[in-house]
Amino acid sequence: MLGRSGPHPNPVPEGEGITSPPGPLSVDGDDVVQGLVPCWAGRGEATGTNGRATAFLKQELAALGEKGLRRSLRPLDTAPGPWVTMDGKRVLLLCSNDYLDLASHPSVKAAAQAAIETWGCGAGSARLIAGSLEPHRTLEERLARFLGTEAALLFGSGYMANLGAISALAGPGDAIFSDQFNHASIVDGCRLSGARVHVYPHRDVEALEAMLGRAEAFRRRLIVTEGLFSMEGDLAPLHELACLAVRYEALFMVDDAHGIGTLGEEGRGALEHLGLETGVHILVGTLGKALGSGGAFVAGSLELVDFLVNRARPFIFSTALAPSLAAAATAALEIVQQELWRRHDLLSSASYLKKGLIELGFKVLGEGTAIVPVIIGDPARTMEMSRLLLEEGIFVQGLRPPTVPPGACRLRCSLMATHTREDLDMALDVFQRVGKGLGVIS
């Protein structure tokens, strides 16, 4: 059976922008979606592969290749770390988000293994369906305590956290104000919400205020920004944005996926780093970067979390995070608070690399964070430099549109706490050699 008679068990609420077909068709007693008749339902056997329907795949891939924008996956033969093996060759990894090198930490692995023994490999269902496991509840409590919020709620990924929070908090009749360089998950959350989206120039507080001043007719207003911008390596003007949120009675949401664990005296992220103690209503973070695990969370008030449990569709309709990932993140959170040297060494190494690259003549972005973007410009040249660096033992991925703006292709270096000065000196030597060979520096 492709369908069942009677009302759908999970109808889409009115006003959510999804149009249902006029009604099911019946073929041999089975309900099917309008126009989609299975080949086995009295219509003969399927022949061929319907190549005309899929011809666009080859065409669009070819177009991406011609523009130098086609991507492919690179096999990695070892666990993440400052050095990895690719195609049997040992290379220095300079593009991981495992900032504190916790993904392979013995305590983190042991916590995951113990959780598998106790709780099994998977959660089995969404938490609203089959119950909420202890590893999830413990991690949420620890995260809220660590970040100074009333509560936290786990999601399967940072992408789902942003989609869920934004689409739950804003909708038709509302206005969202989003930084120009916000992550794709924020962009897609804004689109999914159905709200009117206003994109303000990167970190431009004056432009944002002008937009807010013209948005009085909307029911709700939401300002959303990254805390530490993942592709730029710079920080949002959080104090100024928080003031605007108060002045214009707007919700204020910060995605600090790259800041939590790497910034602040205690590792609480960009908010702590910049001294912002209040004013953020929705704080999004990830478990898959500095915490070395997987998944994400939204932190805030008890009412916010209760609201998301009831309205955030990626939470409601997704199987819960594997309990082993939650246990691993809980162990990693303890390390973040105990081993402060990791954060210190991470930022010290990033500063050392950035200074060295600037002295060599490269155009480098970032401001005191673990992310050191090296601007190359042209996509083909960027990828060629990435290839040549890899040939000489340095793996740093090239980034092209739509990840970054046209004309701003870059090599996004991201450091780890366990990179040594010897590692970075080697990287600088190779960057200089390859950069000169391609004419990127003189």
pLDDT at 143: 98
Of all residues in the chain, the percent with pLDDT exceeding 90 is: 84
| 240 and 160 in a common domain | yes
Reply yes or no on whether the pLDDT at 16 is more than 90.
no
Of the residues 338, 370, 389, the one at which a domain ends: 338
Q: Could you tell me which residues are beta bridge partners of residue 86?
A: 89
Q: In what order do the strands lie in the sheet with 83-86?
A: 83-86, 89-93, 394-395
Residue 62 forms part of a structural domain: no
Per-residue pLDDT tens over the stretch 90-109: 999 999 999 999 999 999 99
Same structural domain for residues 163 and 229? yes
> Is residue 427 situated within a structural domain?
yes
Burial of 261 per CB tally in 10 Å (0-12, 13-18, 19+) = buried
Q: What is the CATH number of the domain that holds 425?
A: 3.90.1150.10
User: Over the stretch 50-73, which tens digit does the pLDDT of each residue have?
Assistant: 788 999 999 999 999 998 889 899
Q: Is residue 55 one of the residues assigned to a domain?
A: no
Residue 21 half-sphere exposure toward CB, CA atoms < 13 A: 10
Residues 244 and 282 in one domain: yes
Are residues 225 and 214 both part of a single domain? yes
Q: Does 61 fall in a domain?
A: no
Confidence of residue 45 (pLDDT cuts 50, 70, 90): low
Between CA 325 and CA 156 the distance in angstroms is: 10
Q: Give the pLDDT score at 46.
A: 54
Q: 27 pLDDT exceeds 70?
A: no
Q: Which of 338, 354, 386 is the last residue of a domain?
A: 338
pLDDT of res. 54: 93
Task: Answer whether residue 47 shows pLDDT above 70.
Answer: no
- Looking at the domain assignment, is residue 40 inside a domain? no
Verify that 330 and 349 share a domain, yes or no: no
pLDDT band at 9 (very low <50, low <70, confident <90, very high): very low
Alpha helices in 14-131 (DSSP H): 51-66, 106-119, 127-130
The DSSP bridge partners found for residue 27 are: 30
**What band does 169 get if pLDDT is binned at 50, 70 and 90?**
very high
289 belongs to the catalytic site: yes
Alpha-carbon Rg for the chain, nearest whole angstrom, is: 24
Residues 148 and 84 placed together within one structural domain of the fold: no
| Burial category of 422 from C-beta neighbours within 10 Å (exposed 0-12, middle 13-18, buried 19 and up) | exposed
What is the pTM for the complete model shown?
Answer: 0.88
Q: In b/e form, how buried is each residue of 158-184, taking b as 16+ CB within 10 angstroms? A: bbbbbbbbbbbbbbeebbbbbbebbbe
354 is annotated as an active-site residue: no
Residue 8: pLDDT over 70: no
| Domain final residue pick, 282, 316, 338 | 338
Distance from chain centroid for Cα 102: 18
Q: Are residues 361 and 227 in the same domain?
A: no
Amino acid identity for residue 432 in this structure: Q
Could you tell me which of 429, 438, 262 has the C-alpha nearest to residue 356? 429
Domain match, 238 and 373 both: no
The answer to whether 385 touches 376, Cβ cutoff 8 Å, is yes
Tally the residues of the chain: 442
Give SS3 for 67. Answer: coil
**Mean pLDDT for the chain overall:** 91
pLDDT above 60 (res 409): yes
Residue 320 forms part of a structural domain = yes
Separation CA 437–CA 434 (nearest Å): 5
Among this protein's residues, is 230 annotated catalytic?
yes
The distance of Cα 281 from the centroid of its chain, to the nearest Å, equals: 19
CA 215/CA 248 separation, integer angstroms = 9
The pLDDT of residue 168 is 98
- pLDDT at site 10: 40
Token look-up 């000489």 returns 392
Instruction: Please check whether residue 87 lies inside any domain of the structure.
Output: yes
- Indicate if 144 and 286 belong to the same structural domain: yes
pLDDT at residue 41, as a whole number = 52
- Give tens-digit pLDDT for 283-332: 999 999 999 999 999 999 999 999 999 999 999 999 999 999 999 999 99
User: What is Dmax (Cα atoms) for the chain?
Assistant: 74
Contact 264, 282 (CB under 8 A): no
Pairing of strands 196-200, 151-155: unpaired
Spot the catalytic one: 136, 183, 258, 273.
258
Q: What percent of the chain has pLDDT over 70?
A: 89
Q: Which 8-state DSSP code applies to residue 317?
A: T
Number of H helices, E strands in the chain: 15, 16
Residue 132 resides in a domain: yes
Q: Catalytic pick from 198, 289, 354, 419? A: 289
List the catalytic residue out of 157, 193, 230, 414: 230
The string of pLDDT tens digits covering residues 356-372 is: 999 999 999 999 999 99
Distances (CA, A) of 2 to 12, 24, 32, 430: 19, 10, 6, 58
Calculate mean pLDDT across residues 127-149: 97
In whole angstroms, give the CA distance from residue 244 to residue 254. Answer: 14
Assess whether 357 and 328 both reside in one domain: no
Residue 410: which H helix or E strand, with range?
strand 409-414
Give me the CATH number covering residue 182. 3.40.640.10
Residue 134 to residue 112: CA distance in whole angstroms: 14
Same domain, 419 and 377: yes
Q: What is the dihedral of CA 68, 70, 74, 79, to 10 degrees?
A: 100
Q: Is residue 95 a contact partner of residue 436, using CB atoms and an 8 Å limit?
A: no
Q: Please, which pLDDT band fits residue 166 given cuts at 50, 70 and 90?
A: very high
CB 399 within 8 A of CB 405: no
- pLDDT of 243 > 70? The answer is yes
157 and 251 housed in the same domain: yes
pLDDT digits (tens, 9 = 90+) for 256-277: 999 999 999 999 999 999 999 8
Confidence of residue 215 (pLDDT cuts 50, 70, 90): very high
**pLDDT on residue 322:** 97
Residue 18, pLDDT above cutoff 50? no
Mean pLDDT of 215-228: 96
For residue 314, what are the domain limits? 106-338
What's the domain count of the chain?
2
Query: Can you read off the two tokens belonging to residue 351?
Result: 């500063």
Mean pLDDT of 377-382: 94
